[in-house]
Amino acid sequence: MDYKKKNIHSKNIYSRIDVTKKSHIDHCSTATTMLSVVHNNPIMLDKNYDTRKETDIYNDKSNSYDLSRESSEVLCVCDTQFGTKDCQICDTIMAEDLVPQTKFIKPGSHKGKGLAVFTSGGDSQGMNAAVRAVVRMGIYLGCKVFFIKEGYQGMVDGGSNIVEATWSSVSCIIHRGGTMIGSARCQEFREHAGRLRAAKNLVTNGISNLVVIGGDGSLTGANLFKEEWADLLKELAANGEITSEQSEKYKCLHIVGMVGSIDNDFCGTDMTIGTDSALHRIIESIDAIVSTAYSHQRTFIMEVMGRHCGYLAIVGALAAEADYVFFPECPPPIDWPEKLCKKLEQASSSLASEACYSFLPECPTKGDWVNELCEAVQKACQL
């Protein structure tokens, strides 16, 4: 068999596996055993040769490879076994910048930094779990963690709305709905004067790191706040409301946004906080009325939330085996009433009595869309 050398960049292979474990290396399609780990040099792999006899990077006690060692020479099984470097049976892998993938965050590594978490806008299930995770991870890192109660309103008002959090203050909240630190919409934060007051309250409490849990409006406000942060501090220092030392110390504002919205309408995240619970409630509601629908052969029109995102409508329709679904990403055709009537006629004429469901999003594109849908359903039921 003619074996050819393969020059494969390490990032294509090792980015998806933990190379510190031999069991993972055994599943690598290129070779079953690692001979040596080098930087900027090829690694020679062989499918049958036991490298533990030739190199000490394998630790029998821990059953793992020591990737902290660097070698200046290439270890080739053919060079070791057959005394030749003209290898035709070994695969060559370029292991550039190959380093252990696992990193552990040390406790207390961010000691003394001020971190605040708040929820804003409409509440969603899972916000309390997110708050708990932020608080306890912040304490683990050594940060001084604060709650900002009532969202942006609490940030603007300051005072008792900004309180220090402890490990026990987030106990027994993970199962609770809503948000235990409150949420409110704040008109003052939309104005420059309101954001100036918010900046002063953060600097006064030594906070330069924010975790914002909210929807589109909350994250948009956070982005604007970050963009204006440097100018806000300069203005506060010029007015004598903060010292120049404070202005220099807290000159950088770091913000992390966690999307809390049941609509699942935010780009860059697989699932927003609250979406799964909202979908669960939709299915529960359908299960509660399904017996009536089957008993009287009725057609139900289910309106779900989502605004301009049809995720809840589509997934809810799939889970409930709906007969028809409307969603904003794909507007219905002009002849949708005829198609809907035909579908409902097929359902009503089946041998088994079936419940019919039609899903539509929260905000139809036309104001009279719901009335048209009801008229179409009524027409189909009369046939």
Distance CA(53)–CA(68), nearest Å, equals: 19
The burial of 159, by beta-carbon neighbours within 10 Å (0-12 exposed, 13-18 middle, 19 or more buried), is given as: exposed
- Exactly one of 91, 263, 265, 323 is catalytic; which is it? 263
Distance CA(227)–CA(244), nearest Å, equals: 20
Q: Is 231 a catalytic residue?
A: no
Distance CA(297)–CA(218), nearest Å, equals: 44
> What token pair was written down for 44?
């020679």
Q: Give the position of tokens 């995720």.
A: 311
Q: For 58, list phi and psi in degrees, rounded to 5.
A: -95, 130
Amino acid at 232: L
Catalytic residues: 263
